[in-house]
Structure 1
Amino acid sequence: MNIKLLAIGKTDNKQLEDLTDNYIKRLGFYIKFNFEIIPDLKNVKNLSEAQQKEKEGKLILDQLSNSDVLILLDENGKQYDSVGFSELLQKHMNSGIKQLIFVIGGPYGFSPEVYNRANGKLSLSRMTFSHQMIRLFFTEQLYRGFTILKNEPYHHR
């Protein structure tokens, strides 16, 4: 199985980017992982929130194939502890899917079309974090999930 993280827009914080890259590199020991950035939209000040979500949604949907399992990182998604998240990863790996895609949306969330295509929603916290920080938190939790599945000492139970 391949896991991909899609995110709208690049990060402007080099320290967060470096920390995220560290976990991305570590993930390579466990699974094929790709992190792809969908470029920010241009001239967004001329767009309504709905128009921006629609345009970003099209860019997200263009990245998917019909067989991909899509999970949105969404404030209204299901919350897991780290062990529960590792069990979710194992469930998807056991299901035989080729690609599991997680998406961090733009500043206004996702379009109705993206919600309709999604196979699930995941919330990392009830708190609000910047989309740039979510990249780091998610990749760390993904790494932690695989160390749990391999019964490695990174995660102390």
Structure 2
Amino acid sequence: MKCHLVMVGRTDESWLNTGLEHYLRRIERYTPFQTIVIPDIKKSSAMPDNVLKEKEGEVILKLLSPGDIMVLLDERGMEIGSRGFADFLNKMMLSGCRKLFFVIGGAYGFSDSVYKRADHKLSLSRMTFPHQLVRLVFAEQLYRAFSILNNEPYHHD
């Protein structure tokens, strides 16, 4: 299974990039992994939020092929712990999933068309985080899930 992390907009803070790169290197020990950054939409400040979400959504949906699994990281998603997330990953691998896309939306979330295409929605917390910080938190959790599945001592209950 190949995992992809799709992110809307670039990461502005160097410390976030450093942390993200740290975990991405670790994840690649377990599975092929690719990050995809969707560039900020030009002249987005002049657009209504719903138009911006639609334009971002069009780019997200073009990345997917039939059979690809898309998981939105969304505040309205299912809340699970680290072991539950590891179980979710294991089920994806056992189901024969070839491409698993985790998607972090922009500041205003996802368009209706992206929600309709989503196979799963996961929430990292009931709290709201800046979408750039979610990248680092998710990368750590993905690494943690793979370490749990491989019975490594990283995670402590």
Compute the TM-score of the two structures, normalised by the length of structure 2.
0.98
Matches within 5 A, 1:57-136: 57-136=57-136
Q: SS of the residue aligned with 2:89?
A: helix
Shift of 1:67: 1.2
Distance 2:35 2:90 in 1: 20
- Give the structure 2 partner of residue 3 of structure 1: 3
Distance 1:72 1:151 in 2: 27
Shift of 1:156: 1.1
Shift of 1:116: 0.5
- Give the structure 1 partner of residue 42 of structure 2: 42
Distance 1:133 1:49 in 2: 21
Distance 2:109 2:89 in 1: 24
Question: Stretches of 4+ moved more than 3 A in 1?
Answer: none
Q: Confirm or deny that 1:147 pairs with 2:141.
A: no
Where structure 1 has 5 or more consecutive residues not aligned to the other structure, the ranges are none
Distance 1:83 1:120 in 2: 17
Q: SS of the residue aligned with 2:53?
A: helix
Q: SS of the residue aligned with 2:60?
A: helix
Cα deviation code 1:119-138 (max 9, x no counterpart)? 01000000011111100000
Where structure 2 has 5 or more consecutive residues not aligned to the other structure, the ranges are none
Cα deviation code 1:56-96 (max 9, x no counterpart)? 00010011111110010100000111000000000000000
Shift of 1:8: 0.3
